[in-house]
């Protein structure tokens, strides 16, 4: 599988840490691992995809995903579980219960945060408002302005999670709703330019919130061949995001895409198809020792490049 | 060996200098696993299953609810078909109480209707299979010229069904077009009810893009179909539709 090649590079990265003068194993013992698990475009797929010969038949299913997540939680101390929108729409569970079960099960799985996809507006702002009490996790949205709607002050643009002293800033970006969602369902929601908003978020999370890792939950879509903003364009135009987790285009990637900036900073872009067929997993290690030597500031070192000395 | 040592020192210095410019080292990348398949080998979590079970039961009961009876299956076909006629008829009937103005035409395509309605009991599940998408009904006001293009497209492609009209296909073009029994007047505008998907130029219906007016009925197509079948059943009527030779094909 192609993904394994990507992982091999990262082993070299780990070797880079040993340059500190401690053996690799000791360096590993001194590192903090952050495990990011993510989904996108679940589309109300509560039960596995019917195993009737169709593609991905038998795959997915929230009860199975829960088992998987629990297994990972037993092995890993620092887990963040995130979703990139379009939780709703696609099976009768949504048509009959309006999204109640989706939110309840995600709460059961202990999601840490999610952002909105266009289909999360399918029952309008009232429909969303009605279901929010079933979600024990926050929705993060930095570029939708709900201030003129019934959902005013209900959502934060970002949230900072702290895991063993490592600060992870997570913010959410949504797609232009006009044309995708009916006007009555958009209500007074205002869409703001994701690029400008993302730049503000990076500044806020890196400079003010002193985050070590900046993660964007995006429902913009992986890639378009026109001018429309997508995750790859966002990664290129905004420097300082470490990881963009995406959705909307239902893209399966062999491996996360790496976007490199002139400064050497790199942004990783990932997306895991749809319907919960896969659970995305990305592990980052943070070095305890070096962290102690400096103020907690942003990490602009490459995420995926070995720390070389020459 | 000495070289190695200096390399280490160099590394240390680099890291320290990075620290000095406040760029703390962060993520050494160790991507151990990405994209974990949620496959059949994984056991379902029993507590989650217990939470899902009552909802699943209710879905299954609701989907198997019989809403109507069809003496014959309603199939798809070229130009017009029992299924297309049934849906385009009900699009007008069900829109009327919500859209107070007259509706001249009603449109669907074979692609928009996913599967035929079977003979016998029609369940909610069948209607979901016929219309799995959340498409909603919209009324477009079109110029006579756009309507002419629409009929030509229908004549050429065969998969477009236009209700409340008759026409003749000659040499791949639509001729003798009559709407509500009256000849098409290209200087006049016409209203047409269809799904928002087709109105957004789905199935290549580019002439529907940029209409004179675009109005939402405020009714999902699936809900309109369900309500229509329920109303028929309540009135003691079966689910039927005839092919009335709305389209004449000249060799």
Residues A209-238 have pLDDT tens digits of: 999 999 999 999 999 999 999 999 999 999
> Which residues are within 8 A (CB) of B97 and not within 5 positions of it... i.e. 6 or more apart?
none
A261-276: pLDDT as tens digits: 998 888 999 999 999 9
The predicted-structure confidence for A274-310, as pLDDT tens digits, reads as follows: 999 999 988 888 877 654 222 222 222 222 222 222 2
pLDDT digits (tens, 9 = 90+) for B120-167: 999 999 999 899 888 899 999 999 999 999 999 999 999 999 999 999
SS (H, E, C) chain A: CCHHHHHHHHHHHHHHHHHHCCCHHHHHHCEEEEEEEEECCCCCCCCCCCCCCCCCCCCCCHHHHHHHHHHHHHHCCCEEEEECCCCCCCCHHHHHHCCHHHHHHHHHCCCCEECCCHHHHCCHHHHHHHHHHHCCCCEECCCEECCCCCCCCCCECEEEEEECCEEEEEEEECCCCECCECHHHHCCCEECCHHHHHHHHHHHHHHHCCCCEEEEEECCCCCCCCCCCCHHHHHHHCCCCCEEECCCCCCECCCCEEEECCCCCEEEEECECCCCCEEEEEEEEEEHHHHHHCCCCCCCCCCCCCCCCC
Q: List the single residue in A213, A278, A305 with the smallest CB-CB distance to B26.
A: A213
Name the least confident of A5-9, B135-139, B170-174: A5-9
The answer, for A86 touching chain B at a CB cutoff of 8 Å, is no
Residue B28 in this model has a pLDDT that exceeds 90: no
Using an 8 Å CB-CB cutoff, list chain A residues near B128: 92, 95
- Mean of the pLDDT values across residues A78-95? 94
- How far is residue B131's CA from residue B125's CA, in Å, rounded to a whole number? 10
B24 vs A95, A277, A296: nearest CB: A296
In chain B, pLDDT over 70 holds for what percent of residues?
87
Q: What is the pLDDT of residue B218?
A: 84
pLDDT at B92 over 60: yes
- The pLDDT of A176-197, averaged and rounded, is 90
Tell me the chain A residues in contact with residue B225 when contact means C-beta distances shorter than 8 Å.
Answer: none
In this complex, is the C-beta atom of A17 within 8 Å of any C-beta atom belonging to chain B? yes
Banded model confidence at residue B3, pLDDT cuts 50, 70, 90: very low
Tell me how many residue pairs between chain A and chain B have CB atoms under 8 A apart.
212
Q: Answer whether A48 sits within 8 Å of B40, measured CB to CB.
A: yes
Interface membership of B32 toward A (CB under 8 Å) = yes
Q: What is the pLDDT of residue A29?
A: 59
Contact yes or no for B12 and A20 at CB 8 A: yes
pLDDT at B122: 96
DSSP bridge pairs for A144: A191
Report whether pLDDT(A183) > 80.
no
B62 at interface of A, judged by CB pairs closer than 8 A: yes
Predicted pLDDT at A270: 92
**pLDDT tens-place string over residues A143-153:** 999 999 999 99
CA A197, CA A234: separation in Å to the nearest integer? 11
Residue in A closest to B127 by C-alpha = A92
Residues 228-257 of A with CB under 8 A from B: 242, 253, 255-256
A208 touches chain B (CB under 8 A): no
- Average pLDDT of the segment spanning A168-186: 89
Identify whether the C-beta of residue B228 lies closer than 8 Å to the C-beta of residue B93.
Answer: yes
How many whole angstroms separate alpha carbon B73 and alpha carbon B241? 10
Q: What is the pLDDT of residue B37?
A: 87
Residues A28-33, mean pLDDT to the nearest whole number:
72
pLDDT at A290: 58
B8, A21: Cβ pair inside 8 Å? yes
Give the single-character DSSP code of B224.
H
| pLDDT in the model for residue A10 | 40
Q: Which pLDDT score is estimated for A310?
A: 25
Q: What percentage of chain A reaches a pLDDT higher than 90? A: 65
Q: What is the pLDDT of residues A120-162, one digit of tens each?
A: 998 999 999 999 999 999 999 999 999 999 999 999 999 999 9
Instruction: Please tell me the pTM assigned to this model.
Output: 0.77
The residue-averaged pLDDT of B101-109 equals 96
Lowest mean pLDDT of A90-99, A145-154, A208-217, B241-250, name the range: B241-250
Residue of A303 and B95 predicted with greater confidence: B95
């Amino acid at each position: 599988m192609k993904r394994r090649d990507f992982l091999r590079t990262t082993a070299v990265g780990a070797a880079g840490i040993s340059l500190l003068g401690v053996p690799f194993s000791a360096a590993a013992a001194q590192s903090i691992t952050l495990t990011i698990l993510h989904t996108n475009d679940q589309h109300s797929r509560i039960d596995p995809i019917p195993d009737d010969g169709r593609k991905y038949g038998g795959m997915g299913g929230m009860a199975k995903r829960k088992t998987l997540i629990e297994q990972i939680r037993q092995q890993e101390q620092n887990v963040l579980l995130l979703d990139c929108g379009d939780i709703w729409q696609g099976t009768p569970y949504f048509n009959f219960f309006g999204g109640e079960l989706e939110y309840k099960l995600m709460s059961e799985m202990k999601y840490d945060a999610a952002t909105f996809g266009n289909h999360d507006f399918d029952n309008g702002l009232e429909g969303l408002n009605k279901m929010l009490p079933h979600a024990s996790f926050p929705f993060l949205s930095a570029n939708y302005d709900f201030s003129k709607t019934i959902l005013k002050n209900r959502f934060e643009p970002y949230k900072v999670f702290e895991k063993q002293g490592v600060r992870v800033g997570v913010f959410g970006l949504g797609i232009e709703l006009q044309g995708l969602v009916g006007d009555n369902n958009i209500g007074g929601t205002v869409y703001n330019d994701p690029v400008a908003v993302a730049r503000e978020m990076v500044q806020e999370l890196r400079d003010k919130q002193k985050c070590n890792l900046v993660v964007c939950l995006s429902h913009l879509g992986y890639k378009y061949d026109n001018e429309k903003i997508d995750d790859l364009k966002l990664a290129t135009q905004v420097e300082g995001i470490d990881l963009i987790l995406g959705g909307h285009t239902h893209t399966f990637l062999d491996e996360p895409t790496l976007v490199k900036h002139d400064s050497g900073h790199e942004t990783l872009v990932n997306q895991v198809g749809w319907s919960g067929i896969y659970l995305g997993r990305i592990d980052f290690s943070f070095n305890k020792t070096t962290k102690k030597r400096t103020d907690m500031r942003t990490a602009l070192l490459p995420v995926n490049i070995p720390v070389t000395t020459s | 060996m000495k070289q190695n040592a200096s390399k280490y020192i160099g590394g240390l210095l680099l890291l320290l200098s990075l620290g000095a410019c406040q760029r703390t080292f962060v993520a050494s990348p160790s991507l151990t696993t990405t994209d974990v398949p949620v496959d059949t080998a994984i056991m379902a979590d029993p507590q989650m299953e217990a939470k899902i079970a009552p909802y699943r039961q209710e879905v299954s009961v609701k989907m198997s609810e019989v809403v109507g009876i069809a003496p014959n299956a309603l199939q798809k076909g070229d130009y017009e078909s029992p299924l297309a006629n049934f849906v385009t008829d009900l699009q007008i009937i069900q829109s009327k109480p919500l859209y107070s103005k007259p509706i001249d035409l009603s449109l669907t395509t074979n692609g928009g209707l996913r599967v035929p309605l079977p003979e016998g009991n029609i369940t909610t599940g069948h209607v979901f299979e016929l219309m799995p998408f959340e498409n909603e009904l919209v009324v477009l006001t079109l110029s006579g010229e756009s309507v002419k293009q629409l009929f030509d497209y229908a004549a050429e492609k065969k998969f477009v069904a236009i209700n409340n009209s008759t026409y003749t296909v000659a040499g791949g073009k639509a001729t003798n077009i009559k709407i509500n029994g009256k000849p098409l007047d290209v200087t006049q505008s016409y209203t047409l009810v269809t799904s928002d998907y087709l109105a957004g130029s789905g199935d290549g219906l580019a002439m529907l893009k940029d209409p004179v007016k675009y109005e939402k009925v405020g009714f999902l197509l699936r809900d309109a179909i369900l309500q229509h079948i329920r109303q028929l059943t309540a009135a003691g009527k079966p689910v039927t539709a005839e092919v009335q030779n709305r389209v004449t094909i000249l060799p």
